[in-house]
Structure 1
Amino acid sequence: MLNLQCCVLILTTHLKRKCQCRPEDCIDLLDEMGTLMNLSKVENPAAEFTSKYLREREHYILIRVIQEENSEATCYESLLEDLEKHYPDLTDRLQQLSAKTHRRDQWKKGSLQRRAQPHTSNQLRNRTTSKSKRSSEFKNIPK
């Protein structure tokens, strides 16, 4: 049981200490439905109250947020032993959350690579299309 009338920083520091996490670990909470509470993304955890993000009398699962180096992909790992025993659906949900950020990271990399390519093929295609449009316009003119 926790007091939600405290700032996010105090709550996360308390959870890290109680659950024997390293101080540098990034943690977050997942509710029983699989919704990520995003406490790790709070911009000013020293000023924001926990009650803004969590509901009273609810159960939450502590998770570790692992940011992959040289990437925006994020992996989520449960810190509850036997998660699949207590919450069978949440194991899949954590994998989905991790895959979602991995796919988003790959998409961003792909779009950056597409932007870096020269636009000559698109420009050539546009010129060809506009020429064919003009020639078709001339074909429809009565003589």
Structure 2
Amino acid sequence: MFVTILHGDGRTEMMNLNCRLINFIHHLKEKSGVDFKDCVDLMDSRGHVVELRAQQRSLAAASSVLAERQRYVLLRVCRDDGSGSHKYVPLLNNYSQSHPELIGLLKKLANPGKPSKQGRMQRTKNISSCDKKQ
């Protein structure tokens, strides 16, 4: 049982689901170069966020929340100081070229209240675009 994680400059990581979520998330951060203090999440191919941030220390099996053989996009979770809600920043660079099918999904996720314009995509910086306070 495995999943494929998309991140960085077109990188993919195959990850085993036969482990605890706490270990899966730790290994995911290690493989993708994300700071261990940062909160991460995953988005599936339909645009649904898995909500890993609520399970960062869970001892449940990773297979209990992730579907095997699926592709997920790695996201950084940031707190929006204005509204107190969470903001998701994709950690997949140049996705408009490498994965055009994700443009609409990631645009909707980054701006949930704003209607998206077809054909126009503003690239989101993935490192310093959000406050790292959780």
TM interval, short-chain normalised: 0.5 to 0.7
CA distance in 1, matches of 2:17, 2:87: 26
What residue number does 1:47 align with?
59
What residue number does 1:7 align with?
20
- 1:5-36, Cα deviation, whole Å (9 max, x unpaired): 21111111111111111111111111122221
The question of whether the paired residues in 2 share the 8 Å contact of 1:27 and 1:63 is answered with yes
The question of whether the paired residues in 2 share the 8 Å contact of 1:7 and 1:45 is answered with no
CA distance in 1, matches of 2:111, 2:85: 8
Give matches, 1:1-143, under 5 Å. Answer: 1-42=14-55, 45-69=57-81, 71-100=83-112
What residue number does 1:140 align with?
none
Calculate the TM-score normalised by the size of structure 2.
0.64
Letter in 2 for 1:53: V
Higher relative contact order (CA 8 A, sep 6+): 2
- 1:37-86, Cα deviation, whole Å (9 max, x unpaired): 111122x7332211011111111111111112363222211111211123
The question of whether the paired residues in 2 share the 8 Å contact of 1:30 and 1:63 is answered with yes
More strand by share: 2
Structure 1 unaligned spans of 5+: 104-143
- 1:72-105, Cα deviation, whole Å (9 max, x unpaired): 22221111121112332423323323433x69xx
More helix by share: 1
Q: Please provide the CA RMSD for this pair.
A: 2.1
State the structure with more CA Rg. 1
Calculate the TM-score normalised by the size of structure 1.
0.61
Letter in 1 for 2:62: T
**Percent of aligned pairs with the same residue?**
31
What residue number does 1:123 align with?
none
Letter in 1 for 2:59: A
Letter in 1 for 2:66: L
Structure 2 unaligned spans of 5+: 1-13, 115-134
- 1:84-135, Cα deviation, whole Å (9 max, x unpaired): 12332423323323433x69xxxxxxxxxxxxxxxxxxxxxxxxxxxxxxxx
